[in-house]
Amino acid sequence: MLEKMMKSKLFGWIDERTGAEAIIKSQLTEYEVPKNLNYMWNFGSLALLVLVLQILTGIFLAMYYKPSAALTYGGYTVAFDSVERIMRDVNFGWLIRYMHAVGASAFFVVVYMHIGRGLYYGSYKGPRELLWIIGVVILLIMQGAAFFGYLLPWGQMSFWGATVITNLFGALPVIGEFLQEVLRGGFAVGDPTLNRFFSLHYLFPLLLVAIVGGHVHALHVVHSNNPTGLDVHAGKSTIPFHPYYTIKDAFGVGVFLLFYCYVVFFNPQMGGYFIEVDNYVPANNLQTPPHIAPVWYLTPWYTILRSFESKLIGVLAMGASLGILFLLPFLDRSKVRSARYRPVYRQMVYLFFVTVIILGYCGHSAPTPTLKLIGQISTAYYFAFFLLLPFVPMFEKTKPLPEEI
């Protein structure tokens, strides 16, 4: 079908003025992709899909949402009421809001799988270092966007989550207090905070679009890694992206939508994991809920923060746990990419995945001495994983690599 379209007169007219044919060829029909990619390679296109869904649903939510902490006659606030109005009175408002709230969690599920894939198969290694680094920037901006968005419904979790996180910035020496004021626009989280968070919540996803563009461009320069981690040679072990991977990605979209729609229609709050129960209580700046925890996708980092006695060290450790991802390509000195051929790294990376899940669990639960200890041990391994990487090649006996995939 694409070939037929490209032969039409209209396409010829457009091509003369845009060079469209050369772009389609170099990026799709003649863009070479290893033939052995498994389903772990589907999560990139899914992330793109969810990003588009978030922007689309977000734009429609913004038509009814009102970012104001002013009190209403009902005793609630304008922002809280506007979200409830979206849920009850706006046509299909419930659907669009649930798509957006579930979409935020889906975004992180998909992106964490995508990152895990990169870790396991060594996709961060040369020549893909910059591709990986751009990916980490995307992760940070996503976390920012989700954090800003979570304040908007102005529920108890929104309010106290934002209070805790803006206080984190306050803990930094010298610039801390200034940063905190810039984020809050007042002495405490309040109406000015809500307004600026809405503005930034609109901005960050659009930043993401630009950076994702850079990510895909960087990918198309260095091409995809593959489960063997071998360098591949065009023609012999590759197939064109279109139609082979467009169809495979489309199949992935179908499977993803099955899960996504199930959650949106039948279980949008996911038992308090996707929308926390306390967030249906309007924000009250004079009472902290008995147990506050961030949404699941931020809990691993929250546990790292909580694992230290000193506030400053906790904050720095949390920053370092994300920052160290930037250094990963330079810490890992092994010449072999894929964990398939690296017995030691393979065990390490599996344990790393388990550790991050444990960290997430600890961060979601109310603090107890046992969980604190488990969290501290997990935090230690989280960092040890990265810091051991330069030394692993000294003793790891990698398995023989195949000649060609």
Partner 1 sequence: MSETDQTRRNFLFAAAGGMGGIAAAATVVPFIGSMLPAADTLAAATTEFDVATVEAGQLVVIQWQGKPVFVVHRTPELLKQVDGHDAMLKDPNSEAIEAVSAEWITPENRKYRAIKPEYLITVASCTHLGCIPLFKPSPGRAEWGDSVPEDWPGGWHCPCHGSLYDVSARVINGSPAPHNLHLMPYKYLSETRVVIG
How far the first Cα of the chain sits from its last, in Å, is: 30
Shortest distance, position 14 Cβ to ligand HEM, whole Å:
29
Nearest Cα residue to 111 out of 185, 28, 51, 53? 51
Mutual angle of helices 129-151 and 156-170, in 10-degree steps:
130
Nearer to partner 1, 272 or 289 (CB): 289
Site mask for ligand HEM (CB under 6 A), range 192-231, x = bound: ---------xx--x--x-----------------------
By a kind-dependent CB cut-off of 5 to 8 A, residue 55 interacts, out of ligand HEM, partner 1, none, with ligand HEM
List, in sequence order, every residue forming a beta bridge with 120; answer none if it has no partner: none
Nearer to ligand HEM, 36 or 269 (CB): 269
Nearer to partner 1, 367 or 393 (CB): 367
Nearer to ligand HEM, 232 or 275 (CB): 275
Of all residues in this chain, which one has the CB nearest to ligand HEM in the complex? 58
238 binds ligand HEM (CB under 6 A): no
3-state secondary structure 122-174: CCCCCCCHHHHHHHHHHHHHHHHHHHHHHHCCCEHHHHHHHHHHHHHHHCCCC
CA atoms within 13 A on the CB side of 335: 6
List, in sequence order, every residue forming a beta bridge with 239; answer none if it has no partner: 33
- Residue 210 class from Cβ within 10 Å (0-12 exposed, 13-18 middle, 19+ buried)? exposed
> What value does the CA radius of gyration of the chain take, rounded to a whole number of Å?
23
Per CB under 6 A, the list member of 24, 46, 80, 100 interacting with ligand HEM is 100
Q: How many residues does the chain have?
A: 405
132 binds ligand HEM (CB under 6 A): no
Are the C-beta atoms of residues 40 and 339 closer than 8 Å to each other? no
Phi, psi of 176 (to 5 degrees): -55, -55
**Cα 25 from Cα 389, distance rounded (Å):** 39
Nearer to partner 1, 18 or 310 (CB): 310
104 binds ligand HEM (CB under 6 A): yes
Tally DSSP H helices, then E strands, for the chain: 16, 2
Per CB under 6 A, the list member of 31, 65, 296, 301 interacting with ligand HEM is 65
Nearer to partner 1, 160 or 296 (CB): 160
By a kind-dependent CB cut-off of 5 to 8 A, residue 100 interacts, out of ligand HEM, partner 1, none, with ligand HEM
Shortest distance, position 131 Cβ to ligand HEM, whole Å:
20
Number of residues lying near ligand HEM (CB under 6 A): 26
- Cis peptide, bond prior to residue 369, ω within 30 of zero: no
Of 51-59, 179-187, 306-314, 333-341: span binding ligand HEM (CB under 6 A): 51-59
Site for ligand HEM in 135-174 (CB under 6 A): 142, 145-146, 149-150, 152-153
55 binds ligand HEM (CB under 6 A): yes
Query: What residues make contact with partner 1 under the rule CB under 8 A?
Result: 160, 163-164, 166-168, 171, 181-188, 190, 192, 196, 285-292, 306, 308-311, 314, 366-367
Are the C-beta atoms of residues 333 and 122 closer than 8 Å to each other? no
Nearer to ligand HEM, 275 or 389 (CB): 275
Q: Which residues bind ligand HEM (CB under 6 A)?
A: 54-55, 58-59, 61-62, 65, 83, 97, 100-101, 104, 107, 142, 145-146, 149-150, 152-153, 201-202, 205, 208, 275, 279
